[in-house]
Amino acid sequence: MAEVSTTPPGVKRIIGVDFNFAALRTAGPRYWAFVSLLLTVGVLGLMAWGTLLTQGGVVMAMRDSYPWGLWFTNYMYYVGLAAGGLVVYASVHLFGAKQYHPLARLAVLQAGVLVMMALLGIITDMERPWRAMWMLLTPNFTSPFVFTGSAATLYMVICFVDLWILLTGKGGEKLARRMTLIALPLAIYMHTTTAFVLALNKSRELWHTAVMVPIFLTSATASGIALLLITAYIFQRLGIMRFKASMFRSMSTLLATVIIMDLFLLVVEILVVFWPTSAQPGHVVRFSEFLTGSYAFAFVPVLVLGTTAFILLARRSTRHLPALQITASVMYVVAIFLKRYSLMAMGFSVNPLGQPAPPFVPSLVEVLLALGIIALGMLIMTISAKVLPLEVPEDHDEGQESPRVEFAVEPTLEVG
């Protein structure tokens, strides 16, 4: 009796997910050239990590004046970028924003990869990472790192579980909604505790402000949406996924709204620092370094790029133009990286004794470590774009049980 197989040739079903490995065999030379480049950069990152493990922290640019360096800047940055995936995912399953429905799988995948990259930054910064178990066995609950590190780990796991649910359809919409109800407060908790790493240091004057938490949340959400918009355009340009122009316009509107909120909070904080009746000498001296001093190269572009990005997206008559959407998104993604660097530097530019420190410049080892982590994240996204069914079929309601075949391959017959 003939039995129809639900798995096309070259597709392997692993833990319920169909991996289209046949697509890798048909990939062109440019695809494999890009993969080779990412692997090369990844190997350089591993070599840099080996140098750190064998020679110690002397190969890093971090000193007493800057005990945290590029790795912490990237940690804040990647954790923030992951917020974009959550906003889209939660909008679909909690608020019925069906225009973002085609982005759900890509958004969750990108969020999980970004948090993984953030955690890898912590691990590679450790000179003896095998001792990390002691932090788990004997946690210091007065340290915000205990809370933000555990929250990031749980959030990463939740993202990949959510992705599995979306790809397999297990549990239907009911389970997808429940997972969103878990992921949303956990993500807010993760971003809040990351901001608390800075805000709870009372000896670092520019960090010690309650506004640090909402500023971190708004900039994280804005940059995350911007990066997701860029990724969606890239995937559409490469023919991996297809999206409607109305979806990009909706994302641009949302991005403009969050950008103006983020800029408003930042400007309010600057006004409080410099207003004559509220100005404190320590705050004014430190913040002046970021507006007109040696750190202005990093902070002033945050204001310029952020304001320009909002202006590009503010006009309804031009907001639909892809060139403006991409330009504004790229500008804000860059702006938030510079903002994360500035946030890290604000606590170290002048130490508690009043001694100034020159701007932090990472060492070659730190740069290669960071590039290696970026290469790994991009490699995961590049491979996933080929082998995973990230595009949601038009007749498929996300989270519902559906036919498993999503590849344009004729089914085979098996004689049983």
Query: For residue 325, what pLDDT is reported?
Result: 94
Query: For residue 204, what pLDDT is reported?
Result: 85
Provide the Cα torsion 214, 76, 204, 293; round to 10°.
Answer: -100
Whether the pLDDT of residue 406 is over 70: the answer is: no
Whether the pLDDT of residue 93 is over 80: the answer is: no
Query: For residue 403, what pLDDT is reported?
Result: 42
- What is the distance between the alpha carbons of residues 230 and 215, in angstroms, rounded to a whole number? 23
Please report, rounded to a whole number, the percentage of residues in the chain having pLDDT higher than 70.
92
Is residue 209 situated within a structural domain? yes
Is residue 414 situated within a structural domain? no
Query: For residue 394, what pLDDT is reported?
Result: 64
pLDDT tens, residue by residue, 354-372: 888 899 999 999 999 999 9
CATH number of 179's domain = 1.20.1630.10
- What is the distance between the alpha carbons of residues 146 and 399, in angstroms, rounded to a whole number? 33
Is residue 16 situated within a structural domain? no
Q: Which is more confident, 2 or 222?
A: 222
Is residue 3 situated within a structural domain? no
The average pLDDT across 175-201 equals: 85
Q: Among 290-299, 363-372, 387-396, which stretch is predicted with the lowest mean pLDDT?
A: 387-396
Report yes or no: 54 and 355 within 8 Å, Cβ to Cβ.
Answer: no
Name the token pair of 132: 């990390």
Is residue 52 situated within a structural domain? yes
Query: For residue 230, what pLDDT is reported?
Result: 95
The average pLDDT across 190-209 equals: 86
Nearest 5 degrees, angle CA 18-CA 22-CA 23?
95
With both helix axes pointing from N to C terminus, report the angle between 322-346 and 296-314 in degrees, rounded to the nearest 10. Answer: 150
Q: How many domains does the chain have?
A: 1
Structural domain including 143 reads 21-395
Give a three-class secondary structure readout of 236-290.
HHCCCCCCCHHHHHHHHHHHHHHHHHHHHHHHHHHHHHHCCCCCCHHHHHHHHHH
**Among 145-159, 200-214, 302-316, the range of highest mean pLDDT:** 302-316
Is residue 331 situated within a structural domain? yes
Query: Among candidates 91, 36, 57, 80, which has minimal Cα distance to 254?
Result: 91
Is residue 148 situated within a structural domain? yes
Please report, rounded to a whole number, the percentage of residues in the chain having pLDDT higher than 90.
44
Is residue 413 situated within a structural domain? no
Q: What is Dmax (Cα atoms) for the chain?
A: 88
